[in-house]
Amino acid sequence: MSSVLRLAMRAKGFSRFLAETQAFPVKNRHFMTSSVRKTGDFEYEDPKSEDEVVNITYVLRDGTERKIRGKVGDNVMFLAHRYDIEMEGACEASLACSTCHVYVDPAFQNKLPEPLEEEDDMLDMAPALKDNSRLGCQIVLTKELDGITVTLPTMTRNFYVDGHVPKPH
């Protein structure tokens, strides 16, 4: 590159220089974003009416049950975080880990949509995989799921440092 070009780039700034030259014409400057995959609209608030209530039971690793009143649109992982149920969710529902692995009550398995290929790929990494295994971040509550029970596996792939307790962001 010639010294004249180098000086011109420094004087104007590289991006302005590129925009003004014909070698790299820039017509429209704006940010481009990729589409977002919704895995459930989650808000830290209770259902506004009884029509929105979806009852869910979490069976914890020690066998105790926690009954929670969720709402339509919540996802199982974020709801667990809200009520301090120990479910890691290291990737924050981006389908990049299997730390929110749960077992779904077989009576409700056919009420869930089929898992996406990406979910199946992540489940392949989950320890103690079963036929009723799903990722909690991909289970979005609907009225049809009222009364669902999800069981936390006795072991999970831990992405956090020992002793870390997962907290919602």
Report yes or no on 143 lying in a domain.
yes
- Same domain for 146 and 65? yes
- Same domain for 4 and 77? no
Report yes or no on 126 lying in a domain.
yes
pLDDT number for residue 12: 57
pLDDT number for residue 49: 86
- The 3-state secondary structure of 85-140, one letter per residue: CCCCCCCCCCCCCCCCEEEECHHHHCCCCCCCHHHHHHHCCCCCCCCCEEEHHHCE
* Residues 117, 122: Cα–Cα separation, whole Å: 9
- Residues of the chain whose pLDDT is less than 70? 1-44, 157-169
Report yes or no on 37 lying in a domain.
no
Residue whose entry in the numeric block shows the structure tokens 């869930």: 112
Report yes or no on 43 lying in a domain.
no
pLDDT number for residue 155: 82
* Contact status, residue 88 vs residue 116, Cβ threshold 8 Å: no
Total number of domains constituting the chain: 2
pLDDT number for residue 91: 87
Report yes or no on 163 lying in a domain.
no
- Same domain for 25 and 89? no
The residue count of the chain comes to 169
Report yes or no on 156 lying in a domain.
no
Report yes or no on 88 lying in a domain.
yes
Domain limits for position 72: 50-151
- Same domain for 65 and 24? no
Report yes or no on 162 lying in a domain.
no
- Same domain for 97 and 144? yes
pLDDT number for residue 117: 95
